[in-house]
Amino acid sequence: MKSEIKNNILYFDGCDTVELAKKYGTPLYVMSETAIVEKCREIRDAFLNKHERTRAAYAGKAFLTLSMCKIIEREGLCMDVVSGGELYTAIKANFPPEKIELNGNNKSIEELELAIGYNIGRIIVDGLDELEIIESICKGKGTKTSILYRITPGVKSDSHDYIVTGKKDSKFGIPLDDEVIFPAIERAINSPYVNFMGFHFHVGSQLHNNDSHLKALETALKLIKDTIDKYNYVTPELNIGGGFGIKYTDEDDKKSYAYFLDPMMEKIDEFSKEQNIKRPEIVIEPGRSIVGEAGITLYTIGTIKDIKGIRKYVSVDGGMTDNIRPALYQAKYESIIANKAGMPNTDMVTISGKCCESGDILIKDANLASAERGDILAVFSTGAYGHSMASNYNKNPIPATLLVKDGKSEIIVKRQTYDHMIANEVIPESLI
C-alpha cells in the first residue's frame, strides 16, 4: 500500500486523502498508479524476465477502464477480457488486439464475432459447442483464430466457494472425461479454422497456498502428454491462470509471485525435458494481485448508532453498491479514519452502508478512533472488484475513480449523475 500518516492525516501515493474527499466528493475510489506499476514490474522480475517465452495477461475483470488499459499496455502486459464490454473497452483504448485473450464460460455469438473481427490473440474455449460457433464465424470471414481449451482440473482450492473455479463441479471449463475431452482435442487439431494452441486452467481466486496450482499443473501436463501420445501433436502453449492472493487484513498470509510460479516453472521444465519437447509458452493471468492493494475507497461518515451493550454502528455514504464483496462472500477489510489517522483506536464498531438491506455491512468489529459525523473513512485494498462490481441498487450513483501518483490526482472515471443513471429509461406513450 502506498499509504502514510502525516499530522494525523492519511496520505495515499502522496495525496492528502481528506483533501481528495473534499475536492472530488465521496464515495470515491482512489487508485495508486505507483502501486500498479510496482506490481507489473514485480511480475516482470519474477516471471517475464526470468523465463523466456512467457506472457502475463492482466485479468481486466478486477478493474478495467480506458486509463487502466493504457497503463497495462505501457508496462508490457497482455490483456485478459471476459465479455464484449471488456473487449470493447480495450479496443477503444487502442490496446493491441494481438495481445488480448477472451475468456468466459458463456460467450455470445456477438462477442465471438467481435473477437474474431478484431483478430484478437487468443480465445479461451470454455465449452464444446463454442468451437462450432467459432468455426462457423471463421468460415464466414475466411479467417483463422488461435484457441486454447479451458479445462476443469478437478482440484479444490482453499478459498470461498464462490471464487473457487477449478473443482470438477464448476460452471467453468471442459471436464476431463476421456469421451469428452479427447474428441474435442482431435477436432481442434484437425480444424481448418483454428490454431489449437493448448490448454488453460484457473483454480480459484485470492489464494495463499500453491497446492491447488501444482495439482492442476500435474493434470494439465498429463493432458499434454496424452495429446502427444494419441495425436502426435505438441501443444505450444499453456495458460496457468492467476488467483494470487493479496493482503486485505493481517489474517492474510500473502505470498510472492515467485512462491507460486517458481515451482510450477520447474515442473514444466522437467516435463518438457522428459518428453523431449520444446517447453510450451507459459501464460499467467494476474488481476486482483496487480490492483487490489493499489486502491482505497473514501467515504463520509454519517449517522452513528450506539446500541448499548450490543453494537455501535457507524454508517457511511456508500456500501454494497460500491463494494459488494462483504455482502457477497463475507470479504474482510481494514479501515482508518483518514482525518484522525494518527489517533489511537479506542472504539470497536461496525461500519454499515446506506442501502436498504440489513446485509449492507462493510466491516464488522472495526477498530477505529472515535468517529463523528463528517469524518472521512478510508477502506484499504479495494482496488479489485470495487468499481468493476458497482451497481445502482437503491438508485445510488456509481462513484468517481481517481488515479493518484506522487501527490497529483486525476479523474479517470467521472462520478455518475442522477441523469446518467436514468439516461436509458423511457416512458412509453401508453403511460403518458
Q: Any idea where the domains of the chain sit in the sequence?
A: 3-31+294-416, 64-286
Share of the chain above pLDDT 70, in %: 97
Distance of alpha carbon 64 from the chain centroid: 9
CATH topology of domain 64-286: TIM Barrel (3.20.20)
Residue 312 has pLDDT above 90, yes or no: yes
Average pLDDT, integer, range 117-135: 97
For 376-425, how does the pLDDT look when each residue is reduced to its tens digit (9 = 90+)? 999 999 999 999 999 999 999 999 999 999 999 999 999 999 999 999 99
Query: Would you state the pLDDT for residue 162?
Result: 41
Query: What is residue 168's predicted lDDT score, i.e. its pLDDT?
Result: 61
Handedness of CA 39, 41, 45, 48 (dihedral sign): positive
**Residue 300, phi then psi, degrees to nearest 5:** -105, 130
Q: Could you say which of 40, 78, 355, 356 is catalytic?
A: 356
Arithmetic mean of pLDDT over the chain: 95
* Residue 410, burial from CB neighbour count under 10 angstroms (0-12, 13-18, 19+): exposed
Residue pointed to by grid coordinates 462520478? 415
CATH architecture of 3-31+294-416: Beta Barrel (2.40)
Task: Assess contact for 316 and 353: CB atoms under 8 A.
Answer: yes
Contact 367, 348 (CB under 8 A): yes
Rg (the chain; Cα; Å): 23
Tens digit of each residue's pLDDT (9 = 90 or more) over 13-54? 999 999 999 999 999 999 999 999 999 999 999 999 999 999
356 is catalytic: yes
Read off the C-alpha cell for 16.
492528502
Q: How far apart are CA 260 and CA 333, in angstroms?
A: 24
pLDDT at 167: 47
Q: Are 286 and 56 in contact (CB under 8 A)?
A: yes
- What's the average model confidence in pLDDT over 291-306? 98
- Calpha distance 211→215 (Å, rounded): 6
What pTM value is reported for the model? 0.94
Res. 367 pLDDT band, cuts 50 70 90:
very high
Give pLDDT, residue 156.
56
Nearest C-alpha neighbor of 303 from the set 312, 294, 311, 293: 312
Nearest 5°: the CA angle 58, 64, 66 is: 110
In the predicted model, what is the mean pLDDT of residues 304-320? 96
Q: Residue 1 and residue 13: Cα distance in Å, rounded?
A: 9
